[in-house]
């Protein structure tokens, strides 16, 4: 555990400002790092950065290892000569206020493929050598499997792989060899695009580190059935040869959902993982550690025990708890990688067994003040040093929206009033300043990292919420506008941070 108390911000890459329809990894991301330095913030937390599919959720990526092509910076491709400025004009007509995925994806895919087609002629010798090194570093085959998967998915109308033609579902060697030969150029293009993504990511990572900013990633515990990982490595999961799971993941009914949550992800075959020394998990954490300094593992409790739901169930009501891998998986990862840069998402109903597992491996947990302040007897002093304290997360409403109650709030009016009274009692603040007061409360705790979503720093309402769990449409779209991150705003945030003793050093570096 670190001893230096730090302050951070949660902002997904898609939410960055910019001219090309979505937040990107280039100058707009570096500008945000510069703004973080002005705000005295040293931790940037973002959501999973894998390629998304139906619903645009970063928590259902098409690959555990690949990057989301939509985040590639167009201006960088123009500067490299892979695109011409006028070719990207159509992207500049898209809204800067929200991400219009339906309009964005086909335009950007066309541009990325155009850039990839020019790579061999335009890229200089050093970049071609770097690309060759990228392919060598990724010789574990995930990249090739991902490229073939994306081509087959496109040829099958973007249907999930269990609905493809049988020879591709069952990975017939002759059929796959034919695809590799006839689609060689397309496979190469996908690999080039992935290289361009990671080239930009590593540049951002290096820029952040030089500025004293740590990158804090996010790893879903489950993988999607419709992913290249599941298609190419089905032995990892409890699915049959046709891609049908026997049981699926979720959580049982609780205070927040009378039917529980039916996620639908296939469950892991933990016996297989144990027999291989948890090698896939080692590779997964290693890959994540190359792009981020810290990683939050979503649904940490699933490593101790997980809710197994029959695959044909309509809700999560019927299921049973099954044992997870427990200590063994963390021992294997530590033996292979050394110290584990993990934060446990340990929210919800957490048993003593889960807490013991977390504590035995000295893994920090999470505290969310929007939840905690409503608990009888809660005090800010209850937040332990070995934890990350939040005002709210990407799954919560903004603090302003939570305080006043948004139109889709499932809480009763009496519950909202009780929450209002509780937060004002804890912070000693007022309704007009509740967002800033809750941030100051989080910063005042012993937590070694305290984080607020950018929406809370800005004092925005429910209109700026990025995700509402259980609602299929309209999520992951919010973007901040460049004028909102003004010098005055950065100065005001810096005052809060430095007052708490969590600021950067005078030169902006650790």
Q: Is residue 478 part of a domain?
A: no
Q: Which residues pair with 185 in a beta bridge?
A: none
The candidate with the shortest Cα–Cα distance to 17, out of 65, 73, 80, is 73
pLDDT digits (tens, 9 = 90+) for 439-480: 999 999 999 999 999 999 999 999 999 998 877 788 999 999
Instruction: Tell me the pLDDT of the chain averaged across its residues.
Output: 94
- Of 90, 130, 298, 328, the active-site residue reads 298
Q: How far is CA 211 from the centre of its chain?
A: 22
Task: Give the whole-angstrom CA distance, residue 256 versus residue 240.
Answer: 33
HSE value, Cβ hemisphere, 13 Å, CA-based, for 421: 8
178 has catalytic annotation: no
* 8 Å CB contact between 190 and 151: yes
- Of 56, 229, 345, 437, the active-site residue reads 345
- CB burial string 297-312: b at 16+ within 10 A, e below: bbbbbbbbbbbbbeee
Domain CATH number, residue 170:
3.20.20.80
* 8 Å CB contact between 317 and 260: yes
pLDDT digits (tens, 9 = 90+) for 43-54: 999 999 999 988
Q: Is residue 187 part of a domain?
A: yes
How large is the average pLDDT for residues 494-505? 93
DSSP assignment of 31-60 equals: HHHHHHHHHT--EEE----SPP-GGG-TTS
395 has catalytic annotation: yes
How large is the average pLDDT for residues 203-231? 97
Number of other CB atoms surrounding residue 401 within 10 Å: 23
How many domains are there within the chain? 1
Q: Is residue 461 part of a domain?
A: no
- Of 180, 395, 409, 482, the active-site residue reads 395
* pLDDT score of 504 more than 80: yes
Q: Is residue 160 part of a domain?
A: yes
Q: Is residue 74 part of a domain?
A: yes
pLDDT digits (tens, 9 = 90+) for 96-133: 999 999 999 999 999 999 999 999 999 999 999 999 99
Q: Is residue 357 part of a domain?
A: no
Phi, psi of 7 (to 5 degrees): -125, 145
| DSSP reduced 3-state for 495 | helix
Q: Is residue 476 part of a domain?
A: no
Confidence of residue 407 (pLDDT cuts 50, 70, 90): confident
Query: What predicted TM-score, i.e. pTM, was given to this entire model?
Result: 0.95
What confidence score (pLDDT) does residue 471 get?
Answer: 79
Task: Give the whole-angstrom CA distance, residue 97 versus residue 44.
Answer: 21
Q: Report the phi/psi class of residue 365: left, alpha or beta, with left for phi > 0 and alpha for psi in -120 to 50.
A: beta
Task: Give the whole-angstrom CA distance, residue 404 versus residue 395.
Answer: 17
Q: Is residue 132 part of a domain?
A: yes
Return the DSSP state at 361: T
345 has catalytic annotation: yes
Six token digits for residue 509: 């570096």
* pLDDT score of 509 more than 60: no
* pLDDT score of 135 more than 90: yes
Q: How far is CA 493 from CA 250, 446, 461, 490, 500, in A?
A: 38, 19, 18, 5, 11
What confidence score (pLDDT) does residue 256 get?
Answer: 61
Domain holding 102, by residue range, is: 1-7+14-40+67-213+487-510
What confidence score (pLDDT) does residue 408 get?
Answer: 73
Q: End-to-end distance of the chain based on CA atoms, in angstroms?
A: 16
């Amino acid at each position: 555990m670190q001893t230096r108390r730090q302050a951070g911000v949660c902002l997904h890459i898609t939410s960055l400002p910019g001219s090309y329809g979505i937040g990107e990894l280039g100058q707009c991301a570096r500008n945000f790092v510069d703004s973080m330095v002005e705000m005295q913030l040293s931790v940037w937390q973002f959501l999973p950065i894998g390629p998304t599919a139906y619903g645009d959720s970063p928590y259902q990526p098409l690959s555990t290892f690949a990057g989301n092509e939509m985040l590639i910076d167009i201006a960088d491709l123009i500067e490299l000569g892979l695109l011409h400025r006028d070719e990207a004009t159509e992207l500049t007509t898209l809204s800067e206020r929200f991400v219009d995925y339906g309009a964005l994806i086909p335009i950007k895919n066309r541009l990325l493929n155009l850039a990839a087609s020019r790579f061999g002629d335009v890229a200089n010798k050093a970049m071609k050598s770097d690309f060759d090194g990228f392919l060598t570093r990724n010789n574990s085959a995930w990249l090739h499997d991902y490229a073939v998967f994306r081509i087959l998915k496109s040829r099958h109308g973007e249907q999930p792989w269990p609905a493809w033609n049988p020879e591709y579902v069952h990975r017939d060697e002759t059929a796959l060899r034919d695809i590799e030969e006839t689609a060689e150029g397309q496979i190469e293009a996908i690999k080039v695009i992935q290289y361009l993504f990671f080239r930009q990511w590593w540049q951002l990572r290096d820029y952040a580190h030089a500025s004293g900013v740590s990158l804090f990633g996010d790893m879903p515990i489950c993988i999607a059935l419709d992913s290249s990982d599941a298609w190419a490595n089905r032995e990892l999961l409890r699915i049959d040869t046709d891609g049908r799971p026997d049981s699926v993941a979720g959580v049982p009914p609780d205070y927040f959902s009378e039917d529980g949550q039916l996620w639908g992800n296939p469950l892991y075959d933990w016996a297989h993982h144990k027999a291989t020394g948890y090698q896939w998990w080692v590779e997964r954490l290693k890959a994540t550690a190359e792009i981020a300094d810290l990683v939050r593992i979503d649904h940490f409790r699933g490593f101790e025990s997980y809710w197994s739901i029959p695959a044909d169930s309509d809700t999560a009501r019927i299921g049973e708890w099954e044992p997870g891998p427990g200590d063994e998986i963390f021992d294997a990862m530590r033996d292979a990688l050394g110290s584990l840069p993990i934060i446990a998402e340990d929210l919800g109903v957490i048993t003593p067994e889960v807490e013991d597992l977390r504590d035995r491996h000295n893994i920090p947990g999470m505290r969310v003040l929007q939840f905690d302040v409503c608990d009888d007897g809660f005090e800010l002093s209850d937040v332990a040093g070995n934890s990350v304290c939040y005002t709210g997360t990407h799954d919560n409403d903004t603090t302003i929206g939570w305080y006043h109650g948004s139109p889709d709030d499932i809480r009763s009016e009496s519950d909202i009033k009780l929450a209002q009274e509780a937060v004002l009692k804890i912070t000693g603040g007022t309704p007009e300043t509740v967002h800033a007061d809750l941030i100051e409360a989080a910063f005042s705790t012993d937590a070694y990292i305290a984080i607020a979503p950018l929406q809370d720093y800005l004092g925005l309402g429910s209109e700026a919420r990025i995700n509402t769990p259980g609602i299929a449409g309209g999520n992951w779209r919010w973007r901040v506008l460049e004028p909102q991150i003004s010098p005055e705003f950065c100065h005001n945030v810096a005052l809060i941070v430095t007052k708490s003793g969590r600021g950067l050093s005078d030169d902006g570096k650790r």
